Structures are given as C-alpha cells and as structure tokens.
Amino acid sequence: MPALSLPPLVAPLALAFGLACSACADAPITPAQIQADGSLRSGLQQSEFQAPERPTARQTAQTLQLTAVIAPQAEGALEDTHRFVLPSGQPEAVAFLHLRADRLQEPRAVRFTWIHGDAREETMGFLMPSDTLALAASHTFGPDQAGEWTVQVHAVSPFGTDPLLFERTFEVALEPVP
C-alpha cells in the first residue's frame, strides 16, 4: 500500500491553522490592530485584551455609636420621652425616632422593629452619615395599642445575622377620661 503523501505546503498550513484556532478566540481583531498593508501590528500590549478593572467592594467593620431621641415631634425642637399619652378623643399618636450615627462613613441599610407584646412590625430604612439628629422612622399608635413598646434598630447583614444596633423601651398610655 503506497504511503499517503501530501503536497509540501499542506502540513505547515495545517499547523498554522491549528495554532491560529487555538489562540484567543474570544478576542476579535480590531481595526486598531491592523496596519495599512493588512498585516497585524507588532508589539501589542496585553492590556488591550483585558477586561476593565472593577473597583473591589471593601467591607470594613465600623464601630457605631447611635444617639437616639424618641419624640412626639417630627422636626424642630425635639422632646425626648419615654411615655406617649394618647389624649382622649384623639384617634392616634405618633412616635418619631430620630438618630445620629457617629463614625458612619456611608449609608447603611437597617431594619426598624416596633414590638408590642407578641406583635412585631418591621420596616426597612437607612442610617445616613450626619453630624446631627435626623428622622429615621416613625410609628403610629391607636387607643387599642396602649402599653409597653420596644423599638429596635438592626443592621441588615448579607450573612443573615442582623446585629442589634439600638434598643429602647417606652410606654403608650391613654389619657384618663375626666
């Protein structure tokens, strides 16, 4: 049986084709890489094929000190109180939670939890960097919600363990009927 012979150029062309196909197939040649005579420019930098660098997200532990005021006022001069009195004939009272987070460098997601007996009401919010007290959350109370209340502020963690940042107990009382 005669040996298979290939024309002299087929083997080098097959090798060159194989090497070209094994090169970086996902990086197309751009017009900037081609010279006027149609040949590839030499000395191209590898950085032209790199994806742009993304800023890496840094997680730094921040020790926060929260200053809090629970007041019947949403703004202006605030009166910190541990007792909210629902006047007779008035359908509701509102407690406003004002916070200042010292040493906070960027906004932080938090969860506000208002607890009364076995009932829990949760809302999401943000602590914002500030050097003054700012309204963070509020809760409305009706006559049927008199008694002891607790408000908690939890940091929202991607790991499922939401650490407690702040907790305070206060009372909602009905004004005695004359």
CATH of domain 65-174: 2.60.40.1930
| pLDDT given at position 33 | 75
Q: Distance between CA 144 and CA 48 in Å, rounded?
A: 68
| pLDDT given at position 161 | 83
Say if residue 75's pLDDT is above 70. Answer: yes
Task: Provide the 10 A C-beta neighbour count for residue 132.
Answer: 7
Residue 165's nearest CA partner among 111, 125, 85 is 111
Where would I find the beta strands (DSSP E) of 22-116?
Answer: 65-71, 83-86, 93-102, 108-116
Q: Distance between CA 28 and CA 110 in Å, rounded?
A: 46
pLDDT tens figures, 19-65: 555 555 556 777 777 777 777 777 655 555 555 666 555 555 556 78
Our CA angle for 69, 75, 80, nearest 5°, is 25
Point out the least confidently predicted range of 4-8, 140-144, 169-173, 174-178. 4-8
Give DSSP secondary structure letters for 114-158.
EEETTEEEEEEEEE---SS-EEEEEEEE-GGG-EEEEEEEEE--T
Is the overall model pTM greater than 0.75, yes or no?
A: no
Section 71-75 average pLDDT: 93
| Chain centre distance of CA 91 | 37
pLDDT tens figures, 94-151: 999 999 988 888 899 999 999 999 999 999 999 998 889 999 999 999 888 999 999 9
SS3 121: strand
Domain ranges of the chain: 10-49, 65-174
| pLDDT given at position 150 | 97
